[in-house]
Amino acid sequence: MKIVVTGGAGFIGANFVYYELKNHDDEIICYDKLTYAGNLETLKDAEPNKNFKFIRGDISNRAEVYNLFEAEKPDAVINFAAESHVDRSIEDPELFLRTNIIGTSILLDACKKYGIQRYHQVSTDEVYGDLPLDRPDLFFTEKTNLHTSSPYSASKASADLLTQAYCRTYKIPATISRCSNNYGPYHFPEKLIPLMIINALNGKKLPVYGTGENVRDWLYVEDHCAAIDLILREGKIGEIYNVGGHNEKTNLDVVKTILKILGKSEDLIEFVTDRKGHDQRYAIDPTKIETELGWTPKTKFDSGIKLTVDWYLQNKSWWEKIISGEYQNYYAKMYDNR
């Protein structure tokens, strides 16, 4: 099978590329615009693989997407490509609408025009809004109403609805997955866990929104990749699958765990003004994917966070280049003279 992985130079997309190359003999085409969060150096270990190809392109550019489909004739498309940082969506909503909604619609149009065996939309639990902190018995299921809180989550919910509409109206063989917060290798340094690790290593303050009591369900990224791979191959067309980690933690507990692993003082924690519209709690019920497809997360948070901290300790050059901005020169160095 020939699979186009959009956003494959980002955090989850890159981990999925490596998962596929490790576990299958399929041809993987990474299609990425290389915005601030797309790092081609993340994929340097994939580049020598005969089954891997990188193509630079923008999912919101119809001509580029159609050229991709005409040239490569993919069997499947996994759409990871998205603007995903809530704070950035609050500052610049239009960028999120263009990439996450228009980009998705163009990919779906290409699937309709050129034919596809499977289209998978990678979504988020944030489309459900949030749950109250005092109701630990409540969980998001696939039947939970969409109730978005930020321009980011609204754009992802719109992309989901478009995917469902194309599946019904044009018979696009599509599936959707909605995952909880991911963590692991190659996570961009502006996100909570890598930011806390890097700041702690550099002796800088660790900014925590509000009182740090907001709860997230954490999912190790390799477990997420395994779930998407299973949905791609065995999931039922037209279905939504929630993918959760059974690892609910407050943001403050996550930060304290990182400090403990690194042997750093909790005095580094600095509480800052809370995010606008900050969701209180996310918690996914993954019963459907567990019972119908047999997927369960293998990585508990205590072991996964240690693996993640170790990865950042062993790969300082990767994130130091990002902090300095040097990583953005990697594409030019690798491809401009080819």
On the CB side of 211, CA atoms within 13 Å amount to 2
Cα–Cα distance measured from residue 217 to residue 247, given in angstroms and rounded to the nearest whole number: 5
Q: Determine the angle formed by the axes of helices 301-314 and 316-324, rounding to 10 degrees.
A: 70
CA distance 277 to 271: 17
Q: Respond yes or no: is residue 152 known to be catalytic.
A: yes
In this structure, the number of other CB atoms found within 10 A of the CB of residue 316 comes to 11
Q: Which of 41, 125, 222, 285 is catalytic?
A: 125
Rounded CA gap, 176 and 123, in Å?
7
Beta strand pairing call for 215-220 and 240-243 = unpaired
Tokens 């950035």: give the residue.
88
- For residue 119, the surrounding DSSP H or E stretch is strand 118-124
Catalytic, 209? Answer no
Task: Report whether 55 contacts 74 (CB < 8 A).
Answer: no
Chain position carrying tokens 């491809």: 335
248 is an active site residue = no
d(Cα 111, Cα 93) in Å, to the nearest integer?
Answer: 27
Among 18, 19, 31, 152, the active-site one is 152
How far is residue 314 CA from its own chain's centroid?
Answer: 22
Residue among 283, 218, 214 nearest 252 (CA): 214
CA gap 251, 179 in Å, rounded: 18
Query: Which residue numbers are catalytic?
Result: 125-126, 152
